[in-house]
Amino acid sequence: MQLLSESIYDELELADTLVENAVGYFQLPFSMAPGITINSKRYPLIPLVIEETSVVAGLCKNILFINSHGTISASQYGGGFIGQIHFPDIKNQKSFERNILACKDHLISKANQNPCKSMLERGGGVKDITVRLISRTDGKTMGVIHVLVDTKDAMGANIINQTCEYLKPIVEVESGEKSLLCILSNYNTEKITKVEITLEGIDETLAKRIEEASLIAQFDPYRAVTHNKGIMNGMDAICLATGNDWRALEAGMHGFAARNGQYQGLSNWIANGKQLKGTLEGPINVGIVGGVTNIHPQAALALRCLKVESSTELAYVIGTIGLIQNFAALRALVTDGIAKGHMRLHLKNLLKQTDATAPEQEKALKLLEKIFDTKHYVSANDARNVLKELRS
């Protein structure tokens, strides 16, 4: 607990390792939620790093509800990460694709003997190379080479980028075309994680209302964005805690949400009498080795608390917490409304902005709750007025 309760370091050595021009640390709350069981395996504690009011409270409440009412299963299909070598203007489309595919085995072998050698020894490495041709609006054609790299339990951004840079001059010679850039893709459709929660003995009206609320996010992109933001509240919090790249996760999941040409909700809830089944899938690309996960002591602590044994298991936990957070939000929305769930913590924040003492805050909190029940909203002025009445 000392590691969590004190400042990370008095020295800036770690910060200088992570970023340029470090002048200090910006700390966020590190919380723990109750454990969950996925595919019959227990994950005892869920570490979360997030500052948003009521997210952890909502998660804890609904984790306990789900633990007592249902089961969680998860699976992953596909494998590897996509690296891209881009050719903005292909002169000869047919020969480009033909030449690259003809030397595919040679390219894979070269990559695995050089930049991916250590990855290959761990059972990973380059597994496949494919070619895409994309028509431009100006009549030209773009060419994209996809390099599929199995990075095992690492997220592997650096090794993917290095592999593509290594292959770039080789494919330029083989294709007779000129490449502009090489970079991994965070929209990784080659490895998709799917999580499913099945709840039994649910109130039929509640189940149906949650199904309808879920359906709204499939048709209305304005609602879908907020629907998915709630999902990412849970997913990002674990990513931050474990030292993973939450921006990459966000980009990939939002890209997946628009895969059908319209931005849609990432989750689906289906009611069947007293049964409610929720599913969530997407590219949850994370790692448990390499990068920040290896050098940040709190990230290492978070992984020890989770007791995950692979990046796949971590993806399962992240997806599950995202889906539970979604359930928590929908459950609140279709019953008491989202404001009531946020209210108590919001009122505490309002009172902290005043000079109220601890005893005054307790009394004022009860009065503000009564105001909320009557007006359905509370302002900073209400907090100041209540405090003034208590002191008069």
Query: pLDDT per residue over 222-235, tens digit each?
Result: 999 999 999 999 99
- Are 201 and 304 members of one domain? yes
CA distance 306 to 117: 30
- Are 93 and 114 members of one domain? yes
Per-residue pLDDT tens over the stretch 277-327 = 999 999 999 999 987 877 888 999 999 999 999 999 999 999 999 999 999
- Are 218 and 306 members of one domain? yes
Q: Which of 177, 211, 245, 313 is catalytic?
A: 245
Q: What is the pLDDT of residue 219?
A: 98
The CATH code of the domain that includes 169 is 3.30.70.420
What are 248's two structure tokens? 């990459």
Q: What is the pLDDT of residue 373?
A: 73
Q: Which of 152, 254, 342, 382 is catalytic?
A: 342
Q: 22 lies in a domain?
A: no
- Asked whether the beta carbons of 108 and 79 are under 8 A apart, the reply is no
Q: Which of 140, 229, 352, 375 is catalytic?
A: 229
- Are 198 and 326 members of one domain? yes
Cα→Cα distances 115→81, 120, 189, 211, 299, Å: 15, 10, 23, 48, 27
- Are 306 and 196 members of one domain? yes
Q: What is the pLDDT of residue 138?
A: 97
What is the CB neighbour count within 10 angstroms for residue 173? 10
Which range, of 54-63, 107-116, 125-134, 285-294, averages the lowest pLDDT? Answer: 285-294
296 is catalytic: no
- Are 325 and 221 members of one domain? yes
Q: 247 lies in a domain?
A: yes
Residue type, 126: V
How remote is the C-alpha of 68 from its chain's centroid? 25
Confidence check: pLDDT of 112 > 70: yes
Domain end (from 136, 161, 184): 184
Angle of the 380-391 helix axis to the 338-352 helix axis, nearest 10: 50
- Are 67 and 93 members of one domain? no
- Mean pLDDT, residues 365-385 taken together: 77
Cα→Cα distances 329→62, 106, 275, Å: 10, 51, 18
CA distance 261 to 201: 36
- Are 206 and 321 members of one domain? yes
Residue burial 89-121, b: 16+ Cβ < 10 Å; e: rest: ebeeeeebbebbeebbeebbebbbeebbeebbe
Strands in 180-261 per DSSP E: 181-184, 191-199
- Mean pLDDT, residues 38-58 taken together: 94
Q: 145 lies in a domain?
A: yes
- Mean pLDDT, residues 63-86 taken together: 96
- Mean pLDDT, residues 78-92 taken together: 95
Q: Which of 52, 200, 212, 373 is catalytic?
A: 52
- Are 318 and 197 members of one domain? yes
Q: 3 lies in a domain?
A: no
Count of domains in the chain? 3
52 is catalytic: yes
245 is catalytic: yes
What are 38's two structure tokens? 């996925």
Q: 87 lies in a domain?
A: yes
- Mean pLDDT, residues 94-102 taken together: 95
Which range, of 111-125, 149-163, 248-262, 355-369, averages the lowest pLDDT? Answer: 355-369
Largest Cα–Cα distance in the chain? 86
Domain end (from 168, 184, 200): 184
Domain end (from 335, 358, 381): 335
* Closest residue by Cα to residue 280 from 314, 247, 326: 326
CA distance 322 to 317: 9
pTM here is 0.87
Q: 14 lies in a domain?
A: no
CA distance 374 to 365: 14
Strand order in the sheet with 191-199: 70-78, 191-199, 275-282, 267-272
Confidence check: pLDDT of 337 > 70: no
Confidence of residue 59 (pLDDT cuts 50, 70, 90): very high
Higher pLDDT, 385 or 175: 175
Confidence of residue 2 (pLDDT cuts 50, 70, 90): low
CA distance 274 to 200: 6
- Are 158 and 116 members of one domain? yes
Q: 6 lies in a domain?
A: no
The CATH code of the domain that includes 197 is 3.90.770.10
Which range, of 23-32, 233-242, 286-295, averages the lowest pLDDT? Answer: 286-295
86 is catalytic: no
* Closest residue by Cα to residue 323 from 77, 76, 72: 72
- Are 325 and 359 members of one domain? no
> What is the average pLDDT score of the chain?
91
Which range, of 14-28, 173-187, 207-221, 362-376, averages the lowest pLDDT? Answer: 362-376
Per-residue pLDDT tens over the stretch 160-204 = 999 999 999 999 999 999 999 999 999 999 999 999 999 999 999
State which residues form the domain around 359: 339-391
Q: 4 lies in a domain?
A: no
- Are 198 and 308 members of one domain? yes
What are 66's two structure tokens? 């789900």
Confidence check: pLDDT of 9 > 70: no
- Asked whether the beta carbons of 216 and 226 are under 8 A apart, the reply is no
